[in-house]
Amino acid sequence: MSGVKLEKIVKAYGRLEVVHGIDLEVKEKEFVVLVGPSGCGKSTTLRMIAGLEEISAGDISIDGRVVNRVAPKDRDVAMVFQNYALYPHLSVFENIAFGLRIRKESKGHIEKTVKEASDILGLTPYLDRKPAELSGGQRQRVAMGRAIVRRPKVFLFDEPLSNLDAKLRTQMRAEIKQLHRRLGATSVYVTHDQVEAMTLADRIVVMNDGNIEQIGSPMELFMNPANTFVAGFIGSPPMNQLQGNIEKVSSGLQVRINDTVIDLPNNTNVEDGQSVVLGIRPEHISLSNNEGTSAMSISLNLVETLGSEALLHAKFGEQDMIVKAETNGQIDHLSEISTVYAPTDLVKVFDAKSGLVLSEPFSQGSNT
Ligand SMILES: Nc1ncnc2c1ncn2[C@@H]1O[C@H](COP(=O)(O)OP(=O)(O)OP(=O)(O)O)[C@@H](O)[C@H]1O
Ligand SMILES: [Mg+2]
């Protein structure tokens, strides 16, 4: 097993540059997830690692060796796609064994390796079936079996779960995580689903328009987004972002939004009068007037009930805002709410122009 290193990687199709010189180091055994909106360059980046796409500039190394000109089959990587593309006329066993047969492995070795993989993946009862006789999740597992038996240095996944229904996706997500724990294989996983990224990743790489916006552990990105893009991408629902202006007063720092002032932590790096974006996570807003909070008057548009939680869709002045509230089994009182409270310690401030964070990061440890 071994790591992957991307140095100043550029990809251009003719004159159109779609990846703009990204740097990324995936450590040995690490599970790194590339996440970002459609078209931001995730698949292109993954395909460059696999060797399926030529790189326009920069270096890619696997296990310390530059592989820019190494053919895909000689890179020792295995890729699992969204369309698992199984051979319909072959049994599950033969589908998993396919790569080993091509490599002319011995019969004994193939039997043993396929059996191990099918045990790990829960496919042993289905080895004689054809793909058409399997569920979507089982087919996806066969595709993973094909990758596992090759014992690659690096696993590459491109949205492997996006063809599955919601329930199966959650189940397979947990299975992939357990599989990674068992095999400890270096993995790069592409998704546009931030929940998948949060639950699977050791580290998340947030991409946007061919650039990397931020790299960090799921909790780092959740608690300390580097900019408004990451704040608006990570979290479900994402962080509320409200336009306002800084006011320095004798008692400390505040942000004014229309007629409301909201207290800020003192270690926020801002100028008096500066235009900022106030970031407040929906789950950090409280419904009760606790110490260290600032009141915000809202007008409620909609209460969305999720069961243990409810989402309050509201307007704060002209700006949209979402509050996540515990229901404790009751929702009637939620439709009466007209004031919510922003916790001073947990709000974030971003520069309105650059979008960059101005707040000091929360220290890690207690939050991870
Ligand atoms: N062969 C190609 N020729 C020209 N442009 C391409 C080609 N392949 C991809 N692109 C462009 O490169 C950009 C990145 O594409 P890519 O497939 O990497 O996006 P993605 O992040 O994987 O998106 P999605 O979530 O939709 O899969 C897109 O703007 C796409 O239109
Ligand atoms: Mg893609």
Give the count of beta carbons closer than 10 Å to the beta carbon of residue 367.
Answer: 12
Is 147 a residue whose pLDDT tops 80? yes
Alpha-carbon distance of 60 to 70, in angstroms, equals 10
What per-residue confidence (pLDDT) applies to 191?
95
Residues at Cβ < 5 Å from ligand 2 ion: 43
Alpha-carbon distance of 278 to 262, in angstroms, equals 9
Highest mean pLDDT among 14-23, 133-142, 168-177: 14-23
Alpha-carbon distance of 246 to 350, in angstroms, equals 11
Q: What is the mean pLDDT of residues 57-73?
A: 95
- The residue written with tokens 């002209």 in the block is 318
- The residue written with tokens 């058409």 in the block is 132
* Tens digit of each residue's pLDDT (9 = 90 or more) over 212-270: 999 999 999 999 999 999 999 999 999 999 999 999 998 889 999 999 999 999 889 99
Tell me the ligand closest to 17's alpha carbon.
1
Reading the block at residue 360, the tokens are 């000091």
Alpha-carbon distance of 198 to 87, in angstroms, equals 33
What per-residue confidence (pLDDT) applies to 2?
79
Which residue has the least CA distance to atom 31 on ligand 1?
39
CA-closest candidate to residue 262, choices 227, 235, 297? 297
Alpha-carbon distance of 115 to 93, in angstroms, equals 9
Alpha-carbon distance of 50 to 156, in angstroms, equals 8
What per-residue confidence (pLDDT) applies to 364?
60
Which band of pLDDT confidence, cut at 50, 70 and 90, is reported for residue 171? Answer: confident
Is 366 a residue whose pLDDT tops 60? no
Q: What is the mean pLDDT of residues 75-93?
A: 90
Domain 238-351 class in CATH: mainly beta
What per-residue confidence (pLDDT) applies to 172?
84
* Number of residues written out for the chain: 368
What whole-number percentage of the chain has pLDDT above 70?
98
Atom of ligand 1 nearest to the CA of 46: 18
φ, ψ for residue 321 (rounded to 5)?
-150, 145
What per-residue confidence (pLDDT) applies to 65?
94
Which residue has the least CA distance to atom 17 on ligand 1?
43
Which band of pLDDT confidence, cut at 50, 70 and 90, is reported for residue 15? Answer: very high
Is the N-terminal amide bond of 152 cis, ω within 30° of 0?
Answer: no
Domain(s) labelled CATH 3.40.50.300 in the chain stretch across: 4-223
Atom of ligand 1 nearest to the CA of 42: 21
Query: Which residues contact residue 250 at a Cβ distance below 8 angstroms, ignoring those fewer than 6 apart?
Result: none
What per-residue confidence (pLDDT) applies to 368?
40
Instruction: Please report the DSSP string for 268-324 in residue order.
Output: ----TT-EEEEEE-TTT-BSS--TTEEEEE-EEEEEEE-SSEEEEEEEETTEEEEEE
Average pLDDT, the chain: 93
CB of 42 closer than 6 A to ligand 1? yes
* Tens digit of each residue's pLDDT (9 = 90 or more) over 301-346: 999 999 999 999 999 999 999 999 999 888 899 999 999 999 999 9
Atom of ligand 1 nearest to the CA of 41: 18
CB of 147 closer than 6 A to ligand 1? no
- Determine the distance from the C-alpha atom of residue 267 to the mean position of all C-alpha atoms in its chain, rounded to a whole number: 29
User: Rounded to the nearest whole angstrom, what is the distance from the C-alpha of residue 197 to the centroid of ligand 1?
Assistant: 20
Strand intervals (E) in the chain = 4-13, 16-26, 31-35, 57-62, 65-66, 77-80, 154-158, 186-191, 203-208, 211-216, 240-249, 252-257, 260-263, 275-280, 293-297, 299-305, 309-316, 319-326, 339-343, 348-351
Reading the block at residue 122, the tokens are 């829960």
Alpha-carbon distance of 31 to 68, in angstroms, equals 22
Reading the block at residue 167, the tokens are 């329930």
CB of 205 closer than 6 A to ligand 1? no
Reading the block at residue 19, the tokens are 């990846």
Is 168 a residue whose pLDDT tops 90? no
Mutate to test the pocket of ligand 1, among 11, 38, 40, 82 (most ligand atoms within 8 A of CB): 40
Tell me the ligand closest to 44's alpha carbon.
1
| Buried/exposed 64-102: b ≥16 CB within 10 Å, e otherwise | eeebeeeeeeebbbbbbbbebebeeeebbbbbbbbbbee
Task: Find out whether 4 and 186 touch, Cβ atoms under 8 Å.
Answer: yes
* Tens digit of each residue's pLDDT (9 = 90 or more) over 214-225: 999 999 999 999
Longest dimension (CA), the chain: 80
Which band of pLDDT confidence, cut at 50, 70 and 90, is reported for residue 98? Answer: very high
Task: Find out whether 325 and 237 touch, Cβ atoms under 8 Å.
Answer: no
Pick 4-223's CATH classification: 3.30.420.40, 3.10.290.10, 3.40.50.300, 3.40.50.2300: 3.40.50.300
Is 363 a residue whose pLDDT tops 90? no
